[in-house]
């Protein structure tokens, strides 16, 4: 049997393999809400413009509402023979309301329909992600405030570099997430135009009002070029790019959690809530959630790469290749959503081992820079000379297998006779972090101020857009 939606000049149905490769219903059914919203906006506009009768429009709109209820309650039967969500819904509409259903597809095409549905889905999902990223920022900022003065090692090359505070480290991710949210907001703003009414590719001769459907669907305006409207997926690419960058940030944090929770580092512990045990090694507590957040960045970045490759050789306008935009986009944005939720859970759940952190902060001669800075400030030494003198002092401490603060004044003076015992003031890790008061530095007073600034900002935002 030929397709009842477009089979006019077809005598027979498709080969089974054709159906396998062509059907998208298994994944594009995720668009059902958007498809119904788009159709209802379209039909109301057709009636308002006198293109179809108000009575037919009302019947269609009511029929679509009933279909939404069927889908929502799991009573709708999706058919692969009907290819995709658009034809599944339209076909069911014909079954339930009869002839009037045939008027819905006036002055539109599946090409502008699917572009509209996808934009709506991506836009709504970006809003969800933004809210989740804000929740993660709040969890991080709360924790940062609580541990603004907790000294831990700061690393470069994963080697102890200088002491920092745990709060400062957590706020670094709050900043990253702030920029991630900025990218999400940018993508949302640019994509929020209505492709509906571009029809197949060239627009339509019917007197449609694209501004009306734009307003009904929450778009800022209609898209201005019909060819562009049906043929670009840059809005999905931008969302995936923003998601990829955010996933990369989360993956780095996940990697840190994996490292910090090893018995060897032992800086942080997760509870039973976000770890698993081993079926053979009773002592194990594995940070699976963090590992999966780290791994999921792979599929998110993969979806971006995949869609870029799908799109890059397509001549204007629509080509069926573009049906391949969906699975990757859905999967990637939903994965990011899960990662954000898991990260928020882990941040709330994690407890720093303050003693271990402080001990680790002092290892590896992490206050050597403080010593060099003291020489510069107190002895007016050029920094390069101070660096050299400090290097010799570190060598001495290393030979004696003690920390810098454990060297005697006589030992220090054997390298630089002008050193006084005032130097011991800067050699402790707590003094070190307290002295880093430059704007953006790790001093606990700074960390507290920044954490409070973020929490106030996040609270203001939440009040502005309650979800
Ligand atoms: N399922 C199709 C897609 O996702 C809908 C558009 C079909 N358009 C067409 N001209 N065959 O791209």
Placement of tokens 């898991």 in the chain? 342
* Residue with the larger pLDDT of the pair 8 and 128: 128
pLDDT at 1: 61
Residue range 449-461: average pLDDT?
A: 97
Distance of CA 35 from the midpoint of ligand 1 (Å): 13
Tell me the average pLDDT across 354-364.
Answer: 92
pLDDT for 262 equals 96
| pLDDT tens per residue across span 78-87 | 999 999 999 9
Residue 441: partners with Cβ closer than 8 Å, 6 or more residues away:
none
Atom of ligand 1 nearest to the CA of 322: 12
Provide the 3-class DSSP secondary structure of residue 14: coil
Examine the pLDDT at 268 and tell me if it is beyond 90.
yes
Given a cut of 80, whether residue 3 has pLDDT beyond it is no
What is the mean predicted confidence (pLDDT) over 213-221? Answer: 98
Indicate which atom in ligand 1 lies nearest the CA of residue 325.
4
pLDDT category at 279 given cuts 50, 70, 90 is: confident
Residue pair 20/9 in contact (Cβ under 8 Å)? The answer is: no
Ligand 1 atom having least distance to the Cα of 200: 10
- Taking only the tens place, the pLDDT of each residue in 307-344 is 999 999 999 999 999 999 999 999 999 999 999 999 99
Question: For a substitution probing ligand 1, which of 34, 108, 111, 198 has the most ligand atoms within 8 Å of its CB?
Answer: 111
Is residue 318 in contact with ligand 1, taking CB distance under 6 Å?
yes
Q: Which of 2, 79, 271, 278 is catalytic?
A: 278
Ligand 1 atom closest to residue 83's alpha carbon, by position in its atom list: 1
Q: Ligand 1: which residue has its CA nearest to atom 10?
A: 111
- Answer yes or no: are the C-beta atoms of 432 and 96 closer than 8 Å: no
In the prediction, which pLDDT does 187 show? 98
Verify whether ligand 1 is closer than 6 Å to residue 323 (CB atom).
yes
Q: What is the mean pLDDT of residues 241-257?
A: 98
Residue 278 falls in the annotated catalytic set? yes
Q: pTM of this prediction?
A: 0.94
204 lines ligand 1 (CB under 6 A): no
Q: Is 330 in the pocket of ligand 1 (CB under 6 A)?
A: no
Per the DSSP assignment, residues forming a β-bridge with 44 are: none
Residue in 157, 205, 279, 438 annotated catalytic:
157
Please write the tens of the pLDDT for every residue from 21-33: 999 999 999 999 9
Indicate whether 7 pLDDT > 90.
Answer: no
Query: What local confidence, expressed as pLDDT, does residue 425 receive?
Result: 85
> Is it the case that residue 467 has pLDDT exceeding 70?
no
Q: How far apart are CA 344 and CA 349, in angstroms?
A: 9
Residue 73 annotated in active site: no
Looking at residue 282, its pLDDT comes to: 75
Burial 331-356 (b: 16+ CB within 10 A, else e): bbbebbbebbebbbbbbbbbebbeeb
Q: How many Cα atoms sit within 13 Å of 346 on the Cβ side?
A: 29
pLDDT digits (tens, 9 = 90+) for 103-125: 999 999 999 999 999 999 999 99
pLDDT of residue 49 exceeding 70, the answer is: yes
Cis omega (within 30 of 0) on the bond before 317?
yes
User: How many whole angstroms from 114 Cα to the centroid of ligand 1?
Assistant: 7
């Amino acid at each position: 049997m030929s397709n009842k939606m477009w089979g006019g000049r077809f005598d027979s149905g498709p080969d089974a393999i054709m159906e396998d490769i062509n059907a998208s219903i298994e994944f594009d059914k995720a668009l059902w809400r958007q498809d119904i919203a788009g159709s209802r906006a379209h039909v109301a506009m057709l009636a308002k413009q006198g293109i179809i009768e108000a009575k037919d429009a009302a019947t269609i709109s009511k029929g679509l509402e009933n279909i939404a209820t069927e889908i929502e309650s799991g009573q709708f039967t999706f058919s692969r023979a009907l290819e995709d969500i658009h034809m599944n819904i339209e076909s069911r509409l014909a079954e339930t309301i009869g002839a009037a259903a045939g008027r819905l597809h006036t002055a539109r095409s599946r090409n502008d329909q699917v572009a509209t549905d996808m934009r709506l889905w991506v836009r709504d999902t970006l809003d969800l992600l933004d809210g989740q990223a804000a929740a993660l920022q709040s969890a991080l900022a709360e924790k940062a405030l609580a541990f603004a003065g907790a000294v831990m090692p700061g690393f470069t090359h994963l080697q102890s570099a200088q002491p920092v505070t745990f709060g400062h480290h957590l706020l670094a991710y709050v900043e990253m997430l702030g920029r991630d949210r900025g990218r999400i907001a940018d993508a949302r703003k640019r994509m929020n135009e209505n492709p509906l009414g571009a029809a197949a590719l060239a627009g339509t001769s019917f007197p449609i009002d694209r501004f009306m459907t734009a307003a009904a669907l929450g778009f800022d305006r209609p898209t201005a070029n019909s060819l562009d409207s049906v043929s670009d997926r840059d809005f999905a690419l931008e969302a995936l790019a923003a998601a990829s960058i955010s996933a990369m940030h989360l993956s780095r944090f996940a990697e840190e959690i994996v490292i910090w929770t090893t018995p060897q580092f032992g800086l942080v512990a997760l509870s039973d809530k976000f770890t698993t045990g081993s079926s053979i090694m009773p002592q194990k507590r594995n940070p699976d959630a963090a590992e999966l957040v780290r791994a999921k960045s792979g599929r998110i970045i993969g979806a971006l790469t995949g869609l870029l490759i799908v799109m890059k050789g397509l001549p204007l306008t629509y080509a069926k290749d573009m049906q391949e935009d969906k699975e990757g986009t859905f999967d990637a944005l939903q994965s990011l959503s899960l990662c954000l939720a898991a990260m928020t859970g882990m941040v709330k759940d994690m407890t720093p081992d303050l003693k271990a952190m402080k001990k680790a902060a002092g290892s590896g001669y992490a206050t050597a820079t403080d010593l060099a800075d003291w020489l510069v400030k107190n002895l007016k030494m050029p920094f390069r000379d101070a660096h050299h003198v400090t290097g010799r002092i570190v060598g001495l401490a290393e030979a004696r297998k003690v920390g810098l603060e454990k060297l005697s004044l006589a030992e220090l003076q054997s390298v630089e006779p002008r050193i006084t015992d005032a130097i011991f003031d800067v050699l402790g890790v707590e003094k070190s972090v307290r002295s880093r008061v430059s704007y953006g530095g790790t001093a606990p007073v700074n960390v507290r101020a920044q954490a409070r600034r973020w929490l106030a900002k996040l609270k203001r935002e939440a009040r502005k857009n309650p979800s």
